[in-house]
Amino acid sequence: MKKEKTQPIKEKRSVTDFEHRMTVTLEPKHYINYAMTHSRDQIKKARKRAIFWAIFFFVLGAIALFKGASMEGSMADIYLVAGILMIVYQLFNLFYHFVMFPVALKRSVSKELKKDPSLLSPMEYAFEPDKIVCFLDGKHRNSVLMEDVLGVEDLEDTLIIQIKGGKRMIFPKNTLEQADPVIQEQIKSLQK
């Protein structure tokens, strides 16, 4: 017969069982600021490509317009239309990358927040020397071991803790300033 191993049952802890804790309520601006900051490199690359293609197709469009203007017949019309389309399309492409992309990104973040309203709900974070535990509506949401923290990113009004596996924790700076000194010291130690 096999011996059954009995595992000790760990008692679940609630947020009130932790000595050092703070409540964090994120607003849409925190998520939008995060998304814009982390998309900055992608936006720069896309803008450079858009400028390159705009110059390339503007030159091709100008050549097509010149060739169409110097010809007669149905081929002249095709060259003129192609030249106009190349130039107009690239103007719209530039407009999208320089004006509309940031607006679209903000709308996308807002749409995602509407799908998951729990992201805007108050979350309780409990701090221990070896981990940070997150509770949402009194229920355990996740735990992060301090050894899994890769670093801390300091934005305008937000502090972002980067965790292995691509996860991140977002804390508003004004909430951290009002936090327990032990929590402030623990966050400072992560920044080094």
Select from 180, 144, 23 the least CA-distant residue to 152. 144
For 38-91, give the DSSP string: HTHHHHHHHHHHHHHHHHHHHHHHHHHHHHHHH--SHHHHHHHHHHHHHHHHHH
pLDDT, residue 136, reads: 86
Residue 62 CA to residue 127 CA, distance in Å, equals: 64
Q: Which residues of the chain have pLDDT under 50?
A: none
- For residues 39 and 105, the answer to whether their CB atoms sit within 8 Å is yes
118-170 residue pLDDT tens: 888 888 888 888 888 888 888 888 888 888 888 888 888 888 888 888 888 88
DSSP string, 4-15: PPPPPPPPPPPG
Tell me, what amino acid is at 129? P
Which amino acid makes up residue 177? E
What is the reported pLDDT for 104?
Answer: 92
State pTM to two decimals: 0.70
Report the C-alpha gap between 29 and 124 in whole angstroms.
20
pLDDT of residue 11: 58
Task: Report the chain's mean pLDDT, rounded to a whole number.
Answer: 86
Which residue type does 168 have?
Answer: R
Residue 115 host element (H or E): helix 101-115
Q: Crossing angle, helix 28-38 and helix 101-115, to 10 degrees?
A: 130
Residue 139 buriedness (CB in 10 A; 0-12 / 13-18 / 19+): exposed
| pLDDT confidence of residue 94 | 94
